[in-house]
Amino acid sequence: MLARRVIACLDVKDGRVVKGTRFVNLRDAGDPVELATVYDREGADEVVFLDITASHEGRGIMEDVVRRTAEALTIPFTVGGGLATADDLRHMLRAGADKVGVNTAAVQRPELIREGAERFGSQCIVVAVDAKRTGPSWEVYTHGGRRPTGVDAVEWSVRGAALGAGEILLTSMDQDGREDGFDLRLVRAVTRAVRIPVIASGGAGEPRHFVEAVTESDADAVLAASVFHYRTHSIAAVKAAMAAAGIPVRPAGRGEPAAAEGA
């Protein structure tokens, strides 16, 4: 089994990292460059930077903040928010991103996924899916979780993969910021439907939640924000819990192996 990744997410608004619950009631969580540096040092496998109001405000992403964050990192860096054209994707890759995330613009014009994959390689293209439960299924929302689309989240994930996406960043809007666990049914529905990596996002509050996303829903990676930003749990603690459950993970810090707490 390949090592499962633990990813720290930076939701950025007006140049500051913020976090709320179910995409609202945002509060300040710090400077993106400083937080990225901390997560790199603590053993995060990747950092995801999302400009959460760019699409809603109809503007481009904050390149200066992206560039400064990229310069501070030694681990893979994904950037998303307000990227509407293949040239936008190229711009962010040149600014230091290793991967680019597309959401709103891709739902509006799915060919953006294919264009990005053909120009830069599938490994660079992440389709971000913000999903909210509607009865027995989940609906895709765009514009930072503000607009329902009527599009089924599982079907959209399948289409994104077919168009050339390298992975799916799957966020449960219902669980976002609640810290009582990922939507395991949602994650499982998508991992069973696609053959590309799926990143579980939205709801992590305890190390066991990360374990469950892998063991019960087969997530290839687990992503969190609040639990790391506010130091509820460390990346090392999460990786220790995963390692104790038999999940292969990369070292938890600079040269320090992940081990079960109390070992």
- The answer as to whether 106 is a domain residue is yes
| 230 — pLDDT class (breaks 50, 70, 90) | confident
- The answer as to whether 138 is a domain residue is yes
Range of the domain at 167: 5-244
- The answer as to whether 228 is a domain residue is yes
- The answer as to whether 96 is a domain residue is yes
Note if 174 is an active site residue. Answer: no
Q: Kindly state the average pLDDT of the residues 185-194.
A: 98
C-alpha distances in angstroms, 67 versus 37, 49, 84? 13, 11, 19
pLDDT at 53: 62
Query: Rounded mean pLDDT of the chain?
Result: 89
Q: Kindly state the average pLDDT of the residues 104-118.
A: 97
Residue 147 has pLDDT above 90, yes or no: yes
Q: Which one of 51, 130, 176, 183 is the catalytic residue? A: 130
Pair 40, 34: CB distance under 8 Å: no
Residue 68 has pLDDT above 80, yes or no: yes
What total number of domains does the chain contain? 1
**How far, in whole angstroms, is CA 216 from its chain's centroid?**
19
Q: Which one of 11, 40, 45, 183 is the catalytic residue? A: 11
Note if 130 is an active site residue. Answer: yes
Residue 75 has pLDDT above 50, yes or no: yes
- The answer as to whether 252 is a domain residue is no
- The answer as to whether 159 is a domain residue is yes
Single-letter residue type at 38: V
* pTM confidence score: 0.89
| 260 — pLDDT class (breaks 50, 70, 90) | very low
Q: What is the CATH number of the domain that holds 209?
A: 3.20.20.70
| 258 — pLDDT class (breaks 50, 70, 90) | very low
